[in-house]
Amino acid sequence: MDEEEPKRKPAYQLGQDISLMSVDELNETIDALGEEIARLKREVDAKSDSRNAAEAFFKL
């Protein structure tokens, strides 16, 4: 049962040479980066909410 797993492309690296990427690859990268930006913003919001709650608690 030696099934070969599909080879995974390395993740996009900021500043990498994009001249050899196809339009489809560029669009996939844009979509993936958009999802990652949204994930990062959700985490910032969650941390900000937590910090604001702690500050409000200690001001009482």
With a threshold of 0.85, does the pTM exceed it? no
User: Which residues are CB-neighbours of 4 under 8 A, at least 6 positions away?
Assistant: none
Which 3-state string (H, E, C) describes 2-53?
Answer: CCCCCCCCCCCCCCCCCCCCCHHHHHHHHHHHHHHHHHHHHHHHHHHHHHHH
Condensed to tens digits (0 to 9), the pLDDT of residues 22-42 reads 999 999 999 999 999 999 999
CB atoms inside a 10 Å sphere around CB 21: 14
- In percent, the amount of the chain with pLDDT more than 70 equals 83
The whole-chain average pLDDT of the chain stands at: 87
